[in-house]
Every structure is written in structure tokens, then in C-alpha cells.
Amino acid sequence: MIYVTGDIHGDYDSLSERPLSKLKKGDMLLVTGDFGFIWDNSNKEKSNLKKLAKKKFDILFVEGAHENFERLREYPEVDLYQAKARRIDRNIYCLKRGAIYEIGGKQIFALGGGLPPYEDEPHIAPPSMPTDDELKHAVDTIQKHRRQVDIILTHEAPASVKRMVDRKATVNDLNIFLDTVMKNTRYDRWYFGALHRDTAVSDKLICVFEEVHKVE
């Protein structure tokens, strides 16, 4: 089964608590950014990655606003589910911006990156934001799939949706781009995590943080 959860920020304990503790071999966990286990290369981080690599389920994540992007780029790019991804370990992958993955009969469009939701929060840019080439790749990929996918997995939300969840949140260029994607792409579910809230904007648009959603 495929499951989705929000930002983890390198918190290993959160992956060992219910309901994540129930994930089994063959299951897959999609993370909506700020994975956080690739950060300072400390002994604790290395230990946590080794423990994650022993999990029975696979972990696939999009980049958030708070990542060590330089370190992430050091991991090898490999073929994964009809697209490319960076392999962190045997069961851990960072999904490529703008790619569509064929997983369990589902077409999953991934577009990581973003900025903190509030202007007074620190961030590192531009690595945290998709480049023009990455956005063009995203558009080309969606068009090749006739502008239809099953799942959209992003860190940021479309601009109009972001303001619906939190009127005080700052809208950036990626939010505006995602508004265009939302208006021109058919999809069943869209999961995003930057706002650190668990709320369903609609049956199709899901803001996720600590909850774990089963993809039907």
C-alpha cells in the first residue's frame, strides 16, 4: 500500500510511532518535503539513516524548504518507477522535481522545493526553489501524460489553496505556478505539507502534517 505523511524534519521517532509503525514490507511512504535526515552528516544522522535503511517499507520524499540541497545532490541519480530519483539508501529515495512515477498502478507527479510559509522565517534560496528548467520539465512531463495523473505530491500548495488554509502565509512564485498546474491538470488527490497542518481543503486537496493518509 501507498501512504502519505507530512514534514518529518529528521525526527526518527515519528517514523516509529503509530500508525507508521504498522507499515510492512512492500508498503511505501511518500513524504511531502522537509525530510531532514540529510542535513549535517553527524553521527546521530548517520545512525538514523542506518536505522531507516532497515525499515521494511520504502520511503520516497520530495524536497521541502529546509533541506541540505548540496548534500542531496551528492547522491546518485538512478532509474525508479519509470523516472529518475536520487538514491539515499536501499529503500530511501529523493524524488526528482517535475517527474511522474508509475507506482502500484498510480501515476504520481512530484514537484519538491519551496520557501518557508512566513516572511520572517529563515530560508536558503535559490536551491530550495525549482529552477526555470525544472518547471519547464514539469510542464513537459504533464503534457506528455495528457495532463492527467492520479496523485500530485508537492511541498508547496497552489497559491489560492495556500491562502485558504492560512491567510497569513506568504505566496511565492512556485505557489502561483502550482495554481496553473491545478487549473490545467486532472488529478484524484493532491497532497502538500509546507503549512504544517492536517486539514482537507476539499476531497481532492489535502494539507498533511502528522497524519498518515492511505492512497486508495
So what's the pLDDT on residue 80?
98
So what's the pLDDT on residue 127?
80
State yes or no: pLDDT of 33 exceeds 90: yes
Distance CA 118, CA 198 (A): 18
The end-to-end CA distance of the chain, in Å, is: 8
DSSP 112: -
Q: Is residue 120 very low, low, confident or very high in pLDDT (cuts 50, 70, 90)?
A: low
State yes or no: pLDDT of 18 exceeds 70: no
Window from 9-18, 163-172, 192-201 with minimum mean pLDDT? 9-18
So what's the pLDDT on residue 14?
84
So what's the pLDDT on residue 182?
98
Report helix, strand or coil for 6. Answer: coil
Distance CA 136, CA 141 (A): 9
So what's the pLDDT on residue 206?
98
State yes or no: pLDDT of 92 exceeds 70: yes
* C-beta atoms surrounding 119 within 10 Å: 10
User: Which grid coordinates belong to 107?
Assistant: 501515476
Q: Is the peptide bond before 19 cis (omega within 30 degrees of 0)?
A: yes
pTM of the model: 0.95
What domains does the chain contain, in order, with CATH numbers? 2-215 (3.60.21.10)
So what's the pLDDT on residue 75?
97
State yes or no: pLDDT of 125 exceeds 80: no
So what's the pLDDT on residue 216?
80
Q: What average pLDDT does range 203-213 have in this prediction?
A: 96
Measuring CA to CA, which residue among 144, 215, 214 is closest to residue 185?
Answer: 144
State yes or no: pLDDT of 207 exceeds 80: yes
> 153 versus 121: which is more confidently predicted?
153
Task: Tell me what the pLDDT averaged over the chain comes to.
Answer: 93
* C-beta atoms surrounding 109 within 10 Å: 25
Q: Is the peptide bond before 158 cis (omega within 30 degrees of 0)?
A: no
For 41-66, the pLDDT digits (tens) are: 999 999 999 999 999 999 999 999 98
Distance CA 29, CA 114 (A): 21
State yes or no: pLDDT of 122 exceeds 60: no
**Do the bridges between strand 199-200 and strand 205-207 make them parallel or antiparallel, or are there none, so unpaired?**
antiparallel
Enumerate residues 6+ apart whose C-beta is below 8 A from 114.
Answer: 33, 64, 65, 128, 129, 154, 155, 156, 172, 174, 194
Report helix, strand or coil for 44. Answer: helix
Category of 16 on φ-ψ map: left (φ > 0), alpha (ψ -120 to 50) or beta: alpha
Helix axes 132-144 and 173-184, enclosed angle (nearest 10): 10
State yes or no: pLDDT of 124 exceeds 90: no
Enumerate residues 6+ apart whose C-beta is below 8 A from 105.
Answer: none
User: In this structure, are residues 192 and 208 in contact, taking their beta carbons and an 8 Å threshold?
Assistant: yes
State yes or no: pLDDT of 15 exceeds 90: no
